[in-house]
Structure 1
Amino acid sequence: MPVGTSAATHSFRALRHRNFRLFVVGQFISLIGTWMQTVALGWLIYRLTHSPFLLGLAGFLGQIPSLFFSPLAGVLADRWNRHRMVIGTQVLFMAQALALAALVLSGKATIPEILGLNLLLGFISAADVPARQSFMIELVPDPRDLPNAIALNSSVFNVARLVGPSIAGVVIGLLSEGLAFLLNGLSYVAVIGALLAIRVPPRARRAAAAPNVWAHLAEGLRYAGGFAPIRAALLLLALVGLVGTPFSVLMPMFASDVLGGGAHTLGFLVASIGLGALAGALFLARRRTVRGLGSVIVWAVSAFGAGLIALALARTQWLACGVLAVVGFGMMVHMASTNTILQTLVDPDKRGRVMSLYTVAFMGTMPLGSLAAGALAGRLGAPLTVALGGAACLVAGALFARELPALRAQVRPIYERLGIAPEVATGIQASEEPPAPS
């Protein structure tokens, strides 16, 4: 950015692109509904069953398709029109939400039917995330604005996480979970309309180097696995997704059993995570360089792990909310920093496949962790289960920190050979200079 650019202008620079503005406005409205459904679904299952295992099972079914289906979706995102693919997934999201609303409002919903619809949601998400993440580069023509676009997209996600659960708590308390599902379904009108208004130039067709889907998939796996910085970033994300992030499926248990609250308490807890995550996304949006993101990841994972341990000790709503803000900050900074590094390092023709591995590393490992967390919480209690996950995250962050010097050495010559700007060449490198004022 030019010298003298204000911090506010710099922080929102990606919004100068019309397509990106349309995208984030539609996403914001739709994501409010998505968070309403997430909170309402967890509360509905726990109200009907009081089973921590079924909470974990619901999380498992909603995320397990990402482990197996996202790599294939990433291949399709590199071969198909990403714009149309994202529109298609949003239409399917709307259909799933409206079906769930109709079922619950009819008063005939059963737990197997609710879990089945959540499994369907997982398959749609497994196709949507790689396509949407790889579509981002087409919305922001200036590659210098891509990190800011990723951070702003994360900000929108987390503002919605603040608003959606708060509305859901009121709607559930005064009316029913079914109305929250209905409002979510209607919210997709906004994002579908915005996507239809977006105009992107046609993407060049890929040369037929990999004649079939499986060869194309294997090429992407070899590419990501053969480059240590990408491999290390994905492995850390996968481990945190497995042992740390599943704390979220236990939030209804914390709200009801640990803190003695109701649906409004759950709304406050989830909104607190969103508040911290929003602060983390805005922190990244204000950064003027990708330099130092490796070190940022280390302390973000450490803050996340320490926050989970503190959450296990909290016994009042306001203390839990404060701790969850720290948890949300660390979680978002880790996820968005990893996303930025991957989008910076990856070859354009492999973007969809690498971002599908990003989806697998985070969303694909979460279902296994959610199932284990639900089972452990039934035996050990939610606090001890969450504390064990936090301790594992601290260990993972320390191991990644130990590998950083070797990762820096591998990144630098590759980007110099490709002729990319020097500050990008040190994107995973710890900064040796004070950060630029923001």
Structure 2
Amino acid sequence: MTTTPTATTPETPLPHSHTPGTARAALAYPKFRILFFGMALSSIGTWMQNFTLPAYIDGRTGSASLVGLLIFVQLGPLLFLSIPSGILADRFDRTRLVIGMQSVMMVMSVVLAVLVARDAALWTIFAAQLSIGVANTINAPAFSASIPMLVDRRDLSGAISLNSAMINGTRIAGPALAALLAALGMSLSQLFLVNAATYLFLIVPLALKVRLPMPTGSLPERGWRKLGAGFRIVRERAVLLRTISTMFLFSLLCLPYVGLFPSVARLNFGLDPEGGEYKMLYIVWGLGAFFGALAVGTWLARRDTRRLIPLGLLTFAAALGTFALLDSWVLALPIAGALGFTYFMTATALASVMQNNLADPERGSTMPLWFMAFGGTVPIGNLIFGPVMDAVGARWVLAFGAVCAVGLAWWGDLKRLDEDDFLAADEGGEPFRPVNANRLF
């Protein structure tokens, strides 16, 4: 039987001399490295658009509710279409599927550029954003279920950390590049055209050089029963149920500020969402998120990732509560950095624990539930808390999220689980290390 790169025994030597599970180890795999840098360059354009479009809507309407609706049409498909998309990822050639969806997003970014240039009716802009959201939802399970198979399972934590750091690094680079291009005279619609071109950084390598792997095994479910396969796996493995439910509640109750960031800056600090002060605040927050994600695969790589989750949630609660109380954007800058760091350190730790407790054939059916919990739930929170923010202000929404994070620190603490609740090491899981309940490290 043919094996995948992750189907190894503990005695199998690694193809590099780096510390297993680190970012440097993950980059030692050529195919992973090519796709990582291609995706990074493509994501810079994506974050240019994700940063400027909500600010455009907030500046045009002055409504946090409409900004929340924009985020919903972009990310809402993750909530409703992730499971069918996971089935597609297991049934069709993943390389062709990803190329197709990347191409759709490229074309719709061009359409969005035309609509914004004409100050078209809001519903047309929202429809174009919805199309991008649907294509991204179909793309996500196929791409994300394949990436872990490009590295040895012992290096999976480093790959996940790098991927999270890339998301947040481009979250910084995208707005910074947008500001630079705007200073050089480029219009908002032209920025969207630049974003459309950046999709080629991923499309071209996939078309010419790297094919996404398919799992060698299969799940017992057939036909439409595969829709419930992920739920069965999560229900039967307590660690998956705990990590996904923690991420779901974290996204719903604590992270609405992410999509509503332009409105938070306007209401709490009096900042223009299209001004330089707002961009600086956002970039500092993004820098914090970048280093928080990278930390899991670098200086925290030797720590038991499972123990980072309650620590991350508690420190996030402290940062979000402090951010809610401040009314000076200058004083808020270091807190914004801490808020970003704790947010993505926690999210990356949760993702790492989940990936390390999945066998390769389970990823296509189970990862959609992660996308639903992480990305798909955020727009629901935006829809709920956008009107609340309009009615009572941003501070109460942020303070509520901080209180919820304290409760989640208890729920997401995996030290209460037994060894049998984790994927066994001989099935590819990370070795179980008993936790001293009196300390986090």
* TM-score, structure 2 normalization: 0.88
Match of 2:237 among 222, 227, 243: 227
Matched residue, 2:69: 57
Instruction: Describe how 1:414-429 pairs up with structure 2 within 5 A.
Output: 414-415=423-424, 418=426, 420=428, 424-426=430-432
Could you say if the C-alpha distance between residues 14 and 430 of structure 1 is closer, same or farther in structure 2, counting changes exceeding 3 Å? farther
Equivalent pair of 1:234/1:358 in contact (CA under 8 Å): yes
Matched residue, 1:337: 349
> Equivalents in 2 of 1:340, 1:198: separation in Å?
28
Equivalent pair of 2:143/2:212 in contact (CA under 8 Å): no
Equivalent pair of 1:293/1:427 in contact (CA under 8 Å): no
Secondary structure of the corresponding residue to residue 71 of structure 2: helix
Structure 2 residue 173 is the aligned partner of structure 1 residue 163:
yes
Could you say if the C-alpha distance between residues 78 and 342 of structure 1 is closer, same or farther in structure 2, counting changes exceeding 3 Å? farther
Structure 2 residue 243 is the aligned partner of structure 1 residue 237:
no
Structure 2 residue 392 is the aligned partner of structure 1 residue 380:
yes
Equivalent pair of 2:21/2:301 in contact (CA under 8 Å): no
CA deviation vs aligned residue, 1:143-182 (integer Å, no higher than 9, x gap) = 2222111111112221111111122234456543212211
Partner letter of residue 240 of structure 1?
Answer: F
> Equivalents in 2 of 1:176, 1:13: separation in Å?
41
Secondary structure of the corresponding residue to residue 16 of structure 1: coil
Equivalent pair of 1:97/1:181 in contact (CA under 8 Å): yes
> Equivalents in 2 of 1:6, 1:227: separation in Å?
31
> Equivalents in 2 of 1:167, 1:127: separation in Å?
28
Partner letter of residue 424 of structure 2?
Answer: Y
Could you say if the C-alpha distance between residues 400 and 82 of structure 1 is closer, same or farther in structure 2, counting changes exceeding 3 Å? same
Instruction: Answer 1 or 2: which has greater helix percent.
Output: 1
Shift of 1:321: 2.3
> Equivalents in 1 of 2:368, 2:213: separation in Å?
22
Structure 2 residue 402 is the aligned partner of structure 1 residue 390:
yes
Equivalent pair of 1:242/1:369 in contact (CA under 8 Å): yes
Matched residue, 2:270: 260
Matched residue, 1:129: 140
Partner letter of residue 184 of structure 1?
Answer: N
Partner letter of residue 114 of structure 2?
Answer: A
Matched residue, 1:43: 55
Partner letter of residue 225 of structure 1?
Answer: R
Secondary structure of the corresponding residue to residue 12 of structure 1: helix
Equivalent pair of 1:97/1:182 in contact (CA under 8 Å): yes
Structure 2 residue 313 is the aligned partner of structure 1 residue 301:
yes
Mark the runs of 5 or more structure 1 residues left unpaired by the alignment. Answer: none
Instruction: Describe how 1:81-96 pairs up with structure 2 within 5 A.
Output: 81-96=93-108
Shift of 1:383: 1.9
Shift of 1:201: 7.7
Equivalent pair of 1:251/1:266 in contact (CA under 8 Å): no
> Equivalents in 1 of 2:439, 2:99: separation in Å?
43
Could you say if the C-alpha distance between residues 297 and 114 of structure 1 is closer, same or farther in structure 2, counting changes exceeding 3 Å? same
Instruction: Describe how 1:179-328 pairs up with structure 2 within 5 A.
Output: 179-200=190-211, 203=214, 209-212=220-223, 214-262=224-272, 263=274, 264-286=276-298, 292-328=304-340
In the alignment of these two chains, the number of paired residues is 425
Matched residue, 2:5: none
Secondary structure of the corresponding residue to residue 38 of structure 1: helix
Could you say if the C-alpha distance between residues 203 and 368 of structure 1 is closer, same or farther in structure 2, counting changes exceeding 3 Å? closer
Could you say if the C-alpha distance between residues 146 and 208 of structure 1 is closer, same or farther in structure 2, counting changes exceeding 3 Å? closer
Structure 2 residue 187 is the aligned partner of structure 1 residue 176:
yes
Could you say if the C-alpha distance between residues 205 and 411 of structure 1 is closer, same or farther in structure 2, counting changes exceeding 3 Å? closer
Could you say if the C-alpha distance between residues 347 and 323 of structure 1 is closer, same or farther in structure 2, counting changes exceeding 3 Å? same
Matched residue, 2:160: 150
Q: What RMSD, in angstroms, separates the aligned Cα atoms of the two structures? A: 2.8
Partner letter of residue 378 of structure 2?
Answer: M
Percent identical pairs in the alignment equals 28
Shift of 1:291: 5.5
Could you say if the C-alpha distance between residues 8 and 409 of structure 1 is closer, same or farther in structure 2, counting changes exceeding 3 Å? closer
Structure 2 residue 66 is the aligned partner of structure 1 residue 68:
no
Could you say if the C-alpha distance between residues 78 and 39 of structure 1 is closer, same or farther in structure 2, counting changes exceeding 3 Å? same
Match of 2:124 among 113, 116, 121: 113
Could you say if the C-alpha distance between residues 332 and 197 of structure 1 is closer, same or farther in structure 2, counting changes exceeding 3 Å? farther
Mark the runs of 5 or more structure 2 residues left unpaired by the alignment. Answer: 1-12
Shift of 1:322: 1.5
Secondary structure of the corresponding residue to residue 27 of structure 2: helix
* TM-score, structure 1 normalization: 0.89
Match of 1:354 among 351, 357, 366: 366
> Equivalents in 1 of 2:97, 2:433: separation in Å?
30
Shift of 1:31: 1.0
> Equivalents in 2 of 1:100, 1:420: separation in Å?
44
Partner letter of residue 154 of structure 1?
Answer: S
Partner letter of residue 124 of structure 1?
Answer: A
Secondary structure of the corresponding residue to residue 345 of structure 1: coil
Matched residue, 1:102: 114
Could you say if the C-alpha distance between residues 333 and 408 of structure 1 is closer, same or farther in structure 2, counting changes exceeding 3 Å? farther
